[in-house]
């Protein structure tokens, strides 16, 4: 929530001969709460009657009184959240983690195979229902919605339902995504469009659906799930890498637009995570190629682990979904109310090699 300025932060300038307010009575956080107070900041931070302070450079370390009180509210009790791609994997882990922190959750998923070009099975209605059972096991409310993130009308209706049934919508996480492999010179129009529309347009639709509900309340947390592959190229994965890089640009633009409404927008970029998108022969082949190995027609998990471990920074082949979710939860808390326009890497060290 946005902290309101105290009466002392908007007091009239001191009259001639009158000392300015004592630094003990006005914190730096309070002084900068309004533009009028900011104009007084230099005077308010000086010790009364201090000639040396008056001669020092305004804003120097010796003059500024910092607000050192802790601002560590990590609870989401009473918050309402919407999460896309909620049926399994990272989306499920995020739903459960948000609920564990106190939030009620609307989980949205297409819960079917998006395109036959996928090399892994699509989510199912039963998997979405299982996410709901796990959220309710945390003692929180759950709404499951079967919908396609490419359908803006469906997303808008889901956001409005969460806002109505939870009393307000405070959090939105754009997580739904698919991955299709293939050389860019051979990529079909349909495959390129499916990846971009689900991953990038789906996140844009999420922001467009929830922002109008958050703006009047002057508060909100939006987190978009990008990928380590959005921070570097990926051979035979150009559409996915482009969509995930695009999400970062989308996030930064939305952060600039929504910041004045005290709505934060950030991304979390997971590395390789043990999900259905990863745990399949198609992705394992790409992982072996990345490691300089020639994959067999039916690679095994053991082969992939052996290939990845030598270069794995934390000596694990891939992360688990519940190791990504805490970063998302943090960005949704009041403790992160001044974190916006940021990219958070949850990669088990892969990001140590990023140059962009």
Q: Is 34 helix (H, G, I), strand (E, B) or coil?
A: coil
Do residues 158 and 109 touch, judged by C-beta distance below 8 A? no
Q: Which helix (H) or strand (E) holds 220?
A: strand 220-225
- Burial profile 92-125: b = 16 or more Cβ within 10 angstroms, e = fewer: bbbbbbbbbbbbbbbbbbbbeebeeebebebbee
**Tally of helices (H runs) and strands (E runs) in the chain:** 12, 7
- 181 catalytic, yes or no? no
Using N-to-C axis directions, what is the helix angle for 89-100 and 125-136, rounded to 10°? 20
Do residues 174 and 206 touch, judged by C-beta distance below 8 A? yes
Find the radius of gyration of the CA atoms of the chain.
24
Beta bridge partners of 223: 173, 266
| Catalytic hit among 120, 181, 240, 354 | 240
Sign of CA dihedral 60, 65, 70, 74: negative
Cβ neighbour number for residue 344 with a 10 Å cutoff? 20
**Active-site residue numbers?**
240
């Amino acid at each position: 929530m946005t902290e309101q300025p105290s009466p002392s932060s908007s007091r009239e300038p001191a009259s001639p001969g009158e000392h300015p307010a004592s630094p003990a009575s006005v914190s730096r956080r309070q002084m900068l709460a309004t533009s009028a107070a900011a104009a007084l900041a230099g005077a308010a931070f000086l010790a009364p009657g201090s000639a040396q302070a008056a001669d020092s450079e305004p804003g120097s370390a010796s003059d500024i009184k910092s607000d050192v009180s802790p601002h560590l509210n990590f609870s989401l009790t009473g918050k309402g959240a919407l999460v896309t791609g909620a049926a399994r994997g990272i989306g499920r882990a995020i739903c459960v983690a948000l609920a564990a922190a106190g939030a009620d959750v609307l989980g949205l998923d297409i819960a079917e195979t998006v395109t036959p070009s996928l090399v892994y099975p699509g989510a199912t209605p039963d998997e979405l229902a299982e996410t709901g059972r796990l959220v309710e096991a945390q003692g929180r409310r759950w709404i499951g919605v079967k919908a396609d993130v490419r359908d803006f009308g469906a997303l808008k209706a889901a956001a409005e339902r969460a806002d109505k049934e939870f009393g307000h919508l405070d959090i939105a996480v754009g997580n739904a995504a698919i991955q299709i492999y293939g050389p860019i010179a051979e990529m079909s129009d349909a495959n390129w469009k499916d990846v971009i529309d689900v991953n990038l347009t789906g996140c844009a639709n999420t922001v467009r659906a929830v922002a109008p509900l958050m703006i009047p309340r002057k508060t909100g947390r939006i987190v978009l799930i990008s990928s380590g592959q959005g921070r570097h190229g990926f051979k035979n994965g150009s559409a996915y890498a482009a969509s995930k890089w695009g999400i970062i640009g989308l996030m930064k633009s939305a952060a600039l637009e929504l910041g004045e409404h005290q709505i934060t927008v950030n991304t979390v970029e997971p590395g390789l995570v043990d999900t259905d998108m990863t745990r399949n022969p198609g992705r394992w082949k790409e992982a072996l190629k990345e490691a300089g190995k020639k994959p067999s027609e039916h690679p095994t998990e053991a082969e992939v682990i052996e290939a990845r471990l030598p270069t794995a920074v934390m000596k694990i082949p891939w992360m688990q979904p519940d190791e990504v979710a805490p970063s998302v939860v943090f960005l949704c808390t009041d403790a992160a109310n001044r974190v916006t326009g940021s990219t958070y890497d949850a990669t088990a060290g892969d990001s140590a090699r990023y140059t962009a």
